[in-house]
Amino acid sequence: MEKNYPLNRLNTWKIGGLAEAVYWPQSMADLSTVWQRAQAAKTPVWLIGRGSNLLLPDEGLPGITLVTTSLRAIEWGEYSVQVEAGYTLARLSQEAGERGWSGLEFARGIPGSVGGAVMMNAGAHGGEMASQIISVTTLWADGTVKKLERADLEFAYRFCSLRGNAWVVEAQIGFSPGDREQILRLMKENISTRALNQPLEKPNAGSIFRNPPGDSAGRLIESAGWKGKKIGGAQVSEKHANFIVNTGDAKTMDVLALIEAISRDVQSKFGIKLQTEVAYFGEARGARYEARIEGEQSSQNT
């Protein structure tokens, strides 16, 4: 357990104040025990994977912040894998590709954890997690651990029905036989496309807004004239308008102000209300954002 730990080390935006306490559970049982103790003591608990889709507050986080990155056990089966929540999705995708297993080609450039990817139903290049999931082992608010089959879960664009209700501790992911060279080539192409189109050289958290039906958030934001615009240390990327980069000293409030200003402007210019994809922990501008597992629906919209 680390006390007063800088949150900027726990997210790809490299933003955030101090966490009161950070703990990296070493096993599913460890995670469950810490969770139950915190519940009993009424201590707030926050869960972070690789922090690649997450904005953390300038004022820090009270209670315990749990980081899943040590939950990395993996067991390869016959065209399937049982893998703990903290395993890196991109690594899993590469390792499956090396075996000639097809299914996670889309995920090679997504910098999240397996648990975060299930929860966000991460997707790209026409693929998404929901299509590959066989089952998910979950931890619920009352401490129970349940294995849920794919049919028990609902997924939609960047949505999983577990959100705000339970944590993902492990997932079983399925593949189909494929051509190793073709899979690896496709992954390489996907990565090159990203390097061309995304501002990977600066700290960011992927897409800020979900694409509205039939349109692209990036196109709308660019058309509204936001490319390159800055508030404090947060800047709308020159490369991709749906990315906000940290130019060095960005604060959470800068990012939130930029998100709010873009939303308002896009709505007034195009009549479209953009919804955020990035998760936010904390309180801002009168709204409370929920990312814990106390049965409340999470609200990610700024």
Residue partners of 87: CB distance under 8 A and separation at least 6 = 71, 72, 74, 113, 114
Q: CB-wise, 229 or 240, nearer to ligand FAD?
A: 240
Residue 120 CB, shortest distance to ligand FAD, in Å, is 4
Rounded to 10 deg, the angle between the 180-197 and 89-98 helix axes is 150
Which residues lie below 8 Å from residue 213, measured CB to CB, with a gap of 6+?
A: none
Among 234, 266, 279, 284, binds ligand FAD (CB under 6 A): 279
Contact range with ligand FAD by CB under 6 A, out of 15-23, 122-130, 217-225, 231-239: 122-130
Q: Which range in 26-34, 52-60, 174-182, 216-224 contacts ligand FAD by CB under 6 A?
A: 52-60
Contact between 168 and ligand FAD by CB under 6 A: the answer reads yes
- Is the separation of the CB atoms in 232 and 197 below 8 Å? no
Asked if 136 touches ligand FAD (CB under 6 A), the answer is: no
Active site residue ranges = 158, 207, 277
- Residue closer to ligand FAD, measured from CB, 32 or 113: 113
Stretch that binds ligand FAD, among 25-33, 173-181, 201-209, 249-257 (CB under 6 A): 201-209
Min dist CB 40 to ligand FAD, Å, is 21
Q: Does 220 bind ligand FAD (CB under 6 A)?
A: no
CB 276 within 8 A of CB 258: no
CB of 215 to ligand FAD, least distance (A): 17
Q: Does 198 bind ligand FAD (CB under 6 A)?
A: yes
Task: Tell me which residues in 57-76 interact with ligand FAD (CB under 6 A).
Answer: 68
- For binding to ligand FAD (CB under 6 A), which residues are involved? 12, 47-54, 68, 85, 110-113, 115-117, 119-120, 122-124, 167-168, 198, 200, 204-206, 279, 291
